[in-house]
Structure formats: structure tokens, C-alpha cells
Amino acid sequence: MANNSPVVEHLKEKLEEYMARFTKVRIVRTKKREGLIRTRLLGASMAKGEVLTFLDSHCEVNVNWLPPLLNQIALNHKTIVCPMIDVIDHNHFGYEAQAGDAMRGAFDWEMYYKRIPIPPELQRSDPSDPFESPVMAGGLFAVDREWFWELGGYDPGLEIWGGEQYEISFKVWMCGGGMFDVPCSRVGHIYRKYVPYKVPSGTSLARNLKRVAETWMDEFAEYVYQRRPEYRHLSTGDISAQKELRKHLKCKDFKWFMAAVAWDVPKYYPPVEPPPAAWGEVRNTQARPNLTACSILIAKQFRITLNFI
């Protein structure tokens, strides 16, 4: 971003002058670009409150959003609590709930975030009650400050952004805590169509995901590599400190996580793809141009393996 950009100017002296009226707010600047993950760690290290609350800059909190998060932490300080993330349209800033509203956080085996229905076993008589979620959607959560640091905070070896929501989610569950989504806490989030900044060369989301997989997913990392074979050759950097943290906290293994916490995820995203329901050939005898496209569509709907001749 150019030095004469009006955005950059707005974030310098003008920002400091504006925020001076809020005595409880401090602006902390890094000496160089650190990215979302390490910058959050810096902010957390400066905070003095009993509870840390992380939000993205492109968020707008709704009415009475904080007390439901604090209440859950008061009940169990080893809890990470997430608000419901509503959608703020990036074109006109309209506000609405996500499709399906309250749903469990999940993932497929390419490590894309997914949302799945709350199973009947976890549904409460009051739909406003908090519910367990295997993974968080992103970086919107509240946590007891001491518990956050006992967990080691974010892994500082993760670069810029990406994968950190899995790392903190796996860690809290496997190391003696829990995570809840709270329907009564609503925070709007602008979902942008593109990333408005450049990621430094040599930095990749894939590296972060492999680092998380190698640190926390044990033998289940192989399912990721089967779908993303290019990840096998990436360097994770030194993860010895993260492995030592797992040992120090006496964390459970990922097999336990899948069985006790994310037991409903394989129903929607199985680690091993089931075999095709049918196998056969589709022959285009009249050379109609759209037949192949239609056949592929049918195959996707019914999980049929096709050979085109």
C-alpha cells in the first residue's frame, strides 16, 4: 500500500487523536509486518483484563453481545466461547443471519471450514442455550486470559493468517477445555470477495495447515495429504515446542477428538471416501455436445464413476 494512501494516513496520527478520547483503549504497533496471528499475540500480551476477546476489524457487534460470552466463561474458565457470526453484506452493509443460523463448526479433509447441523443428541430444549462446537469459524472468540496463555496462546510459528482457528480449536478440546457457540451473542462480519492486501512471497496457507496437521492431527494428517499431496513436501518449520506443549499439558490424541468431540463430522465429510454407488459407461452415440456435461452432472449427484469412450 502506497505511503500516500488515505487509508494509511487515517491509521496514523488521525487514529491516535480520535482514540485518545477512549481512556481504556491503547494502540499498540508492531515494528514490522507480523500478520494477524502474531499481532493478536502481541495484543493479548499487553491486555490486563481477566478475559481476552478477539474480533476481526471488519466486524460490528450487536446489542448485548458480550454478557453471554462472559457467562459461559464464568461457569468454566477452561472454555473458549464464540458468538454467532452474522453476515454484513460487503456491497450495501445489510445485516442478516447465516443460512441455517446456529450450526456446528466442522471441516473437510482439505481443511476447509464447514458448518453442519447440531445433532439431536446435543440440541437443547431452549435454542438460545450454548452448544458445543468442534472448531471455530475464524478468530471471533472470548477466553479466560490465564487459560489462553496456559494453552500457549496461538502457535507463533504460524504465518500471517490461516489455520489458526483449527490450531486453537484442537488445542482447547484435546488439552482439557471445551468450546461453545452462544446463540445469544451476535456479531456481524463483513465477508469480502477478495483479500484487500498482499501476502508476502513465500508465505502460504498450505504451510500453516500442514503445521497444524503435523502438530495436532496425528495419523489423521494422512487423510489431508491424500487429498492435498502437495502438502507432503512443505516444510512446517520447527514444531518441537508445540509437541512439548502437548506433552506438558497431557493432551489427548486426535483420535479421541474425533470420537468424543467431532464424532458427527465423518457423517458429512468422511476421512475415507465411500466407493461409488455404481460404475459404468456412458456412450455418446450422436455426438450431441451437451451430453458429456449432463452425464458429469448426473455422476456428481449419484456418485457414479463414468468412463467416456
pLDDT given for residue 77 in this prediction? 94
Contacts of 260 (CB under 8 A, 6+ apart): none
What is the model's pLDDT at position 303? 47
Domain count along the chain: 1
96 assigned to some structural domain: yes
Q: Does the residue 42 lie in any domain? A: no
Is 57 within a domain? yes
Lookup: cell for 227: 487429498
Going by the DSSP 8-state scheme, the letter that residue 87 receives in this structure is E
The C-alpha atoms of residue 6 and residue 19 are separated, in whole angstroms, by: 18
Strands (E), 55-138: 59-61, 79-88, 95-96, 104-107, 113-116, 131-132
In the numeric block, the cell 479433509 is attached to 109
* Neighbour tally for 155: CB within 10 Å: 23
Residue 155 has a pLDDT of: 85
Supply the range of the domain harboring residue 145.
49-267
Q: What is the pLDDT of residue 175?
A: 95
* 111 in a structural domain: yes
What SS3 class is residue 302? helix
As given in the structure block, the three cell numbers for residue 206 are 498450505
Predicted pLDDT at 41: 78
Cell of 203: 508465505
219-240-171 Cα angle (round to 5): 60
pLDDT of residue 290: 55
Question: Do residues 189 and 110 make contact, with C-beta atoms less than 8 angstroms apart?
Answer: no
Q: What is the pLDDT along the chain (309 residues), one digit of tens a residue?
A: 344 445 566 677 888 888 888 888 888 888 877 777 877 877 777 888 899 998 888 878 889 999 999 999 999 999 999 999 888 888 888 888 877 778 899 999 999 999 999 999 888 888 889 999 999 987 889 999 999 999 988 888 887 777 888 999 999 999 999 999 999 999 988 877 766 666 665 557 888 899 999 999 999 999 999 999 999 888 888 899 999 999 999 999 999 999 999 999 999 999 888 777 777 777 777 765 554 555 544 444 444 444 444
Residue 291 within any structural domain of the chain: no
| Cα–Cα distance for residue pair 248/242, rounded to 1 Å | 10
Residue in the structure block whose three cell numbers are 443460512:
99
294 belongs to a structural domain: no
CATH number at residue 86: 3.90.550.10
3-state helix, strand, coil in the chain (%, to 5): 35, 20, 45
d(CA 258, CA 266): 9
Residue 179: phi and psi, rounded to 5, are -135, 135
Residue 93 lies in a domain: yes
| Alpha carbons 164 and 248: distance in angstroms, whole number | 20
**Residue 287, domain member (yes or no):** no
